[in-house]
Structure 1
Amino acid sequence: MVSLHTSPLDQPGRGDAGGLNVYVRQLASALSRAGHHVEVFTRGEGSSDFLSPLIPVHYLPAGPPGPLVKEQLPQHLDEFGHALCKATTDQFDVIHTHYWMSAEAALSCRADFRIPIVHTMHTMGRVKLHEYPEARELAERVDAEDNIVGLAARLTANTPAERDELVRFYQAPLSKIDVIAPGVNLEIFHPDGNRATWPLPEVPGALKVLFAGRIQEFKGPQVLFNALRIARTEHPELPIQAVFIGDISGQDHLNLPHLVERYGMHDDVALLPAQPPERLADWFRAADVVAVPSFSESFGLVAMEAQACGTPVLAHASGGLAHTVLDAQTGALLQDLDPHRWAIKLVELARDGVPEAWSAQAAAHARDFSWERTATNAVASYRRAIQPTK
């Protein structure tokens, strides 16, 4: 597995780490438990670390030592690809690349080995610009993704929506795409467990809302914040509180502390750093509802992990979220990111309560998603890449 710009050992919700890190870590572990030999390659210094006793994580050079944001990495892909070629031997049957830079680096030295490449986009440049035209995307990204679609042996999509986006935006052949849903670590994310202590003043009947993810505009925390502000202004009699979990990420530097200070919302909003999975599950269980106002998600791992804890989800009905959350069953899907519409939904839940059935249905829905099933489907994709149908 190749995850160039971020290591599976990194803390999700911090820097460039997020759902991709969880995906690589959990899929690699599930494959290893099933008896497959897995090694992970990422950018970094030193020789190797270990994801588990059987899964080494190898660090390969790409540019100067020390941290680099992902926007600085494309000029160093050839260096990483060269190191990857030297480190890759005949013991591997397949290379599974994650995010466009990993595949571009691997493809740069494809003449040196004939190991098929299976690629997972996780996010796509054209889709991101379609959903969020203000996004800062590197010009070379879309060209690279076109190249990857043409040269990878197989493409995996997290949902049917992502499969359709590959076809619509990149003209990927349907016959080349395998839909493989990510999973949930059900040993960590489940309804029966500790609940975090809510860090805001106790107000009887307050609706408790949680956001978990990188603090950047594309993830939409500003949508939730503005919805809270509108709800408080228009319905001060309905208390709504929100906890935002995550660290600042990306180049837009969304300043939530400034917004809290500006609008005097210290009793309504708490800001916490990224949390490890076991602690994040405690926070999910402490909330009445989890908000996922992303402009787009290929799947929405946070939404599924929250549901696994029995916590309903409010999500933007875009990309994979429209498949991850079952509208009016495990939460609610909102058709756009207008803060006024999100405020209306929050006010409705604060006034009427979160439907009791949503919690049980959310947990039941999430139980259908396991990393073991993801690994089984991934192996089937690998075998198709190794022995394509003639």
Structure 2
Amino acid sequence: MRVAFISLHTSPAERAGTADAGGMNVLIRALAGALTRNGITVEFFTRRASADTPDTVTLDDGLVIHHISAGPPRPLPKSEIDQHIDEFRSNLGSLDRFDVVHSHHWMSGVAALPLARAAGIPHVMTFHSVAAHPNSPLRDGEPAESPARLDGEVMCATQSTLVLAVSRHEAAVVIGRCQADPERVAIVRPGVDIDLFHPAEPGSTWTPHPDVEPGYLLFAARLQPLKAPDLAIRALGLLPDDERRDLVVAGQASADFADYEAELHRLVDDLGLSDRVTFLPGQDRADFAQLLRHASILLVPSYSETFGLVALEASASGIPTLAAAAGGLTEAICNTHTGLLVPTHEPADWAAALGELLRDPDRSAALGRTGRQRAESMTWDHVAEQTVAAYRRAIASGPVGHVCFVHAHPDDETLASGALIAHLIDEGLHVSVLTATRGEMGGVAPGPLTHLAGTPELERRREAELAGALDSLGVSSHAYLGMAPARVGSEPRRYLDSGMQWLESGLAGPADDVAEDALTSADEAEIVADLVAYLRRVGANLVVSYDDDGGYGHPDHVAMHHASKAAAAELGLPFAALTPDRDNADRWFDLDGYLPRVAEALRHHRTQLTVHDDGATITHSGGQVEAIRTSVGLKGTFPHLP
């Protein structure tokens, strides 16, 4: 699976706590790394913020970032970036080489949604924060940085294939305020790197600055009113002198809040806390992990958080969190088990809760231990598994959700398309197979079953073989042409194998004697009508069959090509033709990893062929030896497939 991560306004390479970089930057990079470890290819697309930045860079963890020109190549306030969304979209270009487009933050979604739709690719949306309406209190969410944000969030919520919310709180806001369909919203909570974030060694002491004493308190976030660092400072000021600890404030203000950091420094001076409060810039991940594990308590007084990833990182580090009972923080923290939630934003209430924890070190230690235990079950690899399942759900509910493969005889489904069938099923699509005949005229492979040639038992045997092969591939929906549900009316029709003869090496033609009940003797309109009935019944939205020469000229293959194409056209469905020629394909699938599964399926067709001991080659009943096919192409105009 190939996934495009769109992060227009901030790069995953930016340090959290600086400018507009925060928990989202941490989340998307950690998630991308975990997805990559699970075999998913992830590429980032972000706005170019420096003229010296290469078009594409590879980070030290192997993640690829593409820098897209949109506006002046310099850092911009978030409030100005949305003016360049259209330019970002234009320069982003086609995304049709990806299977899923996952946009992060509303600007990314507004830019990428039209491109995903044009390519027929599912668009997955994660907001990370949702804006409050004008004049709303801070508890309702982040103030909109521009007038376009509210409408942009509604567009992303209502038009995306799937919205991935990071908490129940965010899901409720996306549904209630942004009008998302509840059926298209799923919750996947963030994870934590439990190797990077771990408790300090017992008895170890460390401080980030010579003026900071061990056992310091920590506030870590972007410096803006929503995060309420002023509340942490005011609460400290209300503690008795003998209970006060040093407070480290780690983070920086973005351009949109350029004056706020100076306001905080003035507040510290006004409260007489200059010797107790130390400001640090945003930290890289390793330095921040060290800063966190040696703190005594993390303070998260935010007015609104969709989740509050830093609280989970504190738990992994074995320290308790004192947090506001706001938004997703009520899910990031288990109140009284991994931290304490304060129901108000009154400094006196915060000072009381903080003092309570400081006076009871045994309780603080117990909260830290429980937090670590909980964090160990919330790894990024677990989050990646949930995210991949969500991607597969999006693919299945997107432009292509049900593919019908139409074949003439048993074993054709596996020989021509077995690897592709298995792959699409694994990617979350529904797959149906329709078989026209039982291969009655086909030869029988030499061996203990040769006596079945020309007998009614051969037909029954091949039905059983086909059932086994389909089960190996993972197909649960199958029918025979002319039998319900692949039949118009109640009277069944059994289409028989038309037979063939070799005209030259590799090219077949009609047999000299064709039975009246043979497939090629039937009225094509009847065949098409039966096909239409089946496609309607299963709800297929893509039809796949042979190309116009049937692969090698078998008359039944050619007949099913024409009938399948006509049935798809009657229903307005796209039609794709199988081809073994890479140069002739509009989409090529290299699926070598499915060889064992295809070989297993082929072993069921014992009357048709023999699978060699190497599991990679077969001998047909006529003696032809060939490699098992796993790579295959499709031709035609059809929606995107994973």
- CA distance in structure 2 between the aligned counterparts of 1:195 and 1:98, rounded to whole angstroms: 38
Counterpart position of 2:254: 249
- CA distance in structure 1 between the aligned counterparts of 2:335 and 2:106, rounded to whole angstroms: 31
Pair 1:362–1:250, CA change in 2 (3 A): farther
Q: Deviations over 1:197-253 (max 9, x none)?
A: 2536577xx86311111111111101101111122xxx2232332111111225233
Matched length: 383
Counterpart position of 2:383: 374
- CA distance in structure 2 between the aligned counterparts of 1:339 and 1:200, rounded to whole angstroms: 28
Pair 1:55–1:221, CA change in 2 (3 A): same
- CA distance in structure 2 between the aligned counterparts of 1:250 and 1:294, rounded to whole angstroms: 19
Counterpart position of 1:78: 86
The letter for the 1-side match of 2:389 is A
Deviates more, 1:252-261 or 1:363-372: 252-261
Describe how 1:20-59 pairs up with structure 2 within 5 A: 20-44=24-48, 45-52=53-60, 54-59=62-67
Describe how 1:155-304 pairs up with structure 2 within 5 A: 155-192=163-200, 196-197=206-207, 199=209, 208-231=216-239, 235-252=240-257, 253-254=259-260, 255=262, 256-304=264-312
User: What stretches of structure 2 of length at least 5 have no aligned partner?
Assistant: 402-538, 540-642
Identity over aligned pairs, percent: 37
- CA distance in structure 1 between the aligned counterparts of 2:334 and 2:176, rounded to whole angstroms: 24
Deviation, 1:354, is: 5.6
Q: Deviations over 1:287-329 (max 9, x none)?
A: 1110011111111111111110001000111111001111111
SS at match of 2:132: helix
List structure 1 segments (4+ residues) > 6 angstroms apart after TM superposition.
none
Deviation, 1:184, is: 0.6
- CA distance in structure 1 between the aligned counterparts of 2:221 and 2:198, rounded to whole angstroms: 19
The letter for the 2-side match of 1:376 is E
Of the candidates 291, 299, 323, which is equivalent to residue 315 of structure 1?
A: 323
- Tell whether 2:15 aligns with 1:5: no
User: What stretches of structure 1 of length at least 5 have no aligned partner?
Assistant: none
Q: Deviations over 1:75-95 (max 9, x none)?
A: 110010111224x2x321010
Does the CA-based 8 Å contact 1:4-1:42 persist in structure 2? yes
Pair 1:84–1:130, CA change in 2 (3 A): farther
Deviates more, 1:340-349 or 1:128-137: 128-137
Counterpart position of 2:373: 364
Does the CA-based 8 Å contact 1:48-1:56 persist in structure 2? yes
- CA distance in structure 2 between the aligned counterparts of 1:262 and 1:22, rounded to whole angstroms: 34
Of the candidates 131, 138, 144, which is equivalent to residue 131 of structure 1?
A: 138
Does the CA-based 8 Å contact 2:227-2:303 persist in structure 1? yes
The letter for the 2-side match of 1:13 is G
The alignment's TM-score, normalised by the length of structure 2, stands at 0.57
Pair 1:53–1:31, CA change in 2 (3 A): same
Pair 1:201–1:111, CA change in 2 (3 A): closer
- Tell whether 2:151 aligns with 1:147: no
- CA distance in structure 1 between the aligned counterparts of 2:137 and 2:90, rounded to whole angstroms: 33
SS at match of 1:328: coil
Deviates more, 1:194-203 or 1:364-373: 194-203
SS at match of 1:10: coil
Describe how 1:322-341 pairs up with structure 2 within 5 A: 322-341=330-349
Counterpart position of 1:18: 22
Pair 1:222–1:250, CA change in 2 (3 A): farther
Q: Deviations over 1:161-190 (max 9, x none)?
A: 211222221232221011101111111001
Does the CA-based 8 Å contact 1:317-1:334 persist in structure 2? yes
Deviation, 1:54, is: 4.4
SS at match of 1:156: strand
Bigger relative CO (Cα 8 Å, ≥ 6 apart): 1
Does the CA-based 8 Å contact 1:157-1:163 persist in structure 2? yes
Counterpart position of 1:117: 123
